[in-house]
Homo-oligomer: A and B are copies of this chain.
Amino acid sequence: MKKRVEPTHCDTCGAREKSVFCSLSPDEISDVDASKSCNFYAKGQVIFHEGNRINGIYCVSKGKIKLFQIGNEGKEQIIRFAKEGDIIGYRALLSEEPLSASAATLEETSLCFIPKSQLLKLIANNPNFNFKMLKLLSHELGEAAKVITELAQKPVRERLAETLLILRQTFETDENQVIQVKLSREEIANIVGTATESVIRLLSDFKKEKLIEVEGRSIKIVNIPALTRVANIFE
């Protein structure tokens, strides 16, 4: 399933410009290049498991990933997504704690593994990169706080509406306005924090209300302002 591939070179990697690595010097780039290893993952493969230790980070060169925790009834909670240019595993690495979440691919994905020593070297020697990491972490922390408040206070209907808008923003749309990620109803439920059936019913409501169009796992938002109103977003 997982197989080593011809390593994509960072300097030709289309994902780099969007990543925390965008401002590395040529020397640093080739240093990273030399230390990393790249692998291909099929759809649905687990990259790492919650609770384990990790000794580096993964950079997504192509593909999409979900990060999730398993609650004690065995139910999955999706915490965040990663796509081209994003890194995963840095939280556990930097906190020196076990992984707080598992990661699995949502489609065919290419990942580069960058060892801890390499990351620490960049942090220590490149203030700009270091600051990018601080910024990334603190941004994520702010996002997490927002999610906490919404989970605690908003009804499912509003949360689902917002989730759709966030998915659209995160993964963008193709020429037909279809959100570029394919999730099962259950996975959507596991983002929103609700039951699969509730997602199904509400999606069908949104459809009736002409807010979205759905075809299998393809979702298109046809009335963004109205859906935003349903989501009850002000900020």
Contacts and interface: CB of A to CB of B under 8 A. Distances in A.
A124 B137 CA distance: 17
B72 A232 contact: yes
A100 B150 contact: no
* A interface, size bucket: 35 or more
Given A77-B148, A154-B71, A124 B127 contact: yes
Contacts of A71: 149-150, 152-154
Contacts of A235: 51
Interface in A111-134: 123-124, 127, 130-131, 133-134
A135 B193 contact: no
A208 B130 CA distance: 52
Given A124-B127, A133-B134, A151-B193, A69 B146 contact: yes
Q: Which 3 A-B pairs have the closest CB atoms?
A: A152-B193, A144-B144, A95-B138
23 contacts: A51-B235, A69-B145, A69-B148, A69-B149, A71-B149, A72-B233, A73-B153, A77-B148, A77-B149, A77-B153, A79-B145, A90-B138, A91-B142, A95-B139, A95-B142, A100-B142, A100-B145, A100-B146, A123-B130, A134-B137, A137-B137, A144-B145, A151-B193
